[in-house]
Amino acid sequence: MAEAILTRLLASQLYQPQTLLVSEPQPPRREFLSQTYGVRVTDNNQETLEVTEALLLAVKPQILDKVMAQLTLDGLENYPLILSILAGTPLNRLENAFPDFPVIRVMPNTPATVGVGMTAIAAGTQVQPSHLTLAHAIFGAVGEVVEVPESLMDGVTGLSGSGPAFVALMIEALSDGGVASGLPRAIATQLAVQTVLGTATLMKETGLHPGQLKDNVTSPGGTTIAGVAKLEENGFRSAVIEAVKTAYQRSQELGQ
């Protein structure tokens, strides 16, 4: 995810390569990032605190304490905005780790890689309007941004954070259905991907409620209503709802 955000920041020209510093512990990875994107690299996390206006914290939640042990916060002249994409890690833990820093908890998703991501942000107690403006600019480079209270972030994680996997499963299932109906795999997958993309674009651009779009396609006694009935018979909507709820609950567990 960090590399996806990096690539979009450069593609949007919001930042120039030489203004970005990436801390990475693995030498081959540092070499790759430097050669591929032209960014500055380091293996010293402390350097990222000393030179940046914003620090994207993109580590596994389980190693946050280990990372913090490598940092010295006393005596800093600069307090960069901390943007955390650590799943399930609440603001109070982040603010305890970074006292007096402005901290924003962030939940992006994988479509950020191609600039059509969905990012939710929740602001900490030290965050000022200028910090929110900066966060909107950074994550606006990878898609759309919404501000939510932190109490909703686990729900965001379950829906838009985990949602791409659920949509990918649906696309795969659509493709499988096409193959079962005699279509070649490549064509079935192309049809499935474009159908999902087109439907989402139609809903976004027209503002149609999903139920209305479904009704527009389901003519009386037709093929679509027969398929919808089979989906309902097999608990399709209930399964999706339960998937989001389960991902939400797991996000809550990670935050404990």
Beta bridge partners of 145: 119
- Give domain limits for the chain: 2-154, 163-254
The model's pLDDT over 190-221, given as tens digits with 9 standing for 90+, comes to: 999 999 999 999 999 999 999 999 999 999 99
Cα separation values, 207 from 111, 191, 215, Å: 21, 23, 15
Q: Are 40 and 18 in contact (CB under 8 A)?
A: yes
Give the C-alpha separation, 77 to 75, whole Å.
6
Q: What CATH number matches the domain at 2-154, 3.40.50.720, 3.30.1330.20, 3.30.70.270, 3.30.930.10?
A: 3.40.50.720
Q: Which residue, among 207, 181, 142, 106, has the nearest Cα to 5 in the 3D structure?
A: 142
Whether the CB-CB separation of 178 and 255 falls below 8 Å is answered with no
pLDDT at 32 over 80: yes
Kindly state the average pLDDT of the residues 20-25: 94
Contact 122, 147 (CB under 8 A): yes
Between the two ends of the chain, the Cα-to-Cα distance in Å is 23
Q: Is the pLDDT of residue 49 over 90?
A: no
pLDDT tens for 230-251 read: 999 999 999 999 999 999 998 8
Residue corresponding to tokens 């602001």: 123
The model's pLDDT over 104-115, given as tens digits with 9 standing for 90+, comes to 999 999 999 899
**Which amino acid is it at 179?**
V
- pLDDT (0 to 100) of residue 19: 93
- Residue 160 is predicted with a pLDDT of 95
What single-letter DSSP state applies at residue 241?
Answer: H
Whole-number percent of the chain with pLDDT over 90:
80
pLDDT tens digits for range 50-105: 877 999 999 888 888 888 888 888 888 888 999 999 888 899 999 999 998 999 99
DSSP-assigned letter for residue 80: P
Q: What is the pLDDT, as a whole number, of residue 245? A: 97
For residue 78, the model assigns a pLDDT of 82
Architecture category of domain 163-254 in CATH: Orthogonal Bundle (1.10)
Taking the C-alpha atoms of 44, 49, 53 and 57 in order, what is their torsion angle to the nearest 10 degrees?
70
Q: What is the reported pLDDT for 105?
A: 96
Say what the pLDDT of residue 252 is. 84
Q: Which secondary structure element, helix H or strand E, spans residue 104, and what is its range?
A: strand 103-107
Decide if pLDDT at 256 tops 80.
Answer: no
Instruction: Name the pTM for this structure.
Output: 0.87
Residue 228 has pLDDT above 90, yes or no: yes
**What is the pLDDT, as a whole number, of residue 229?**
97
Residue 119 or residue 61, greater confidence? 119
pLDDT tens, position by position, 8-17: 999 999 999 9
User: What does the block give as tokens for 129?
Assistant: 């309007």
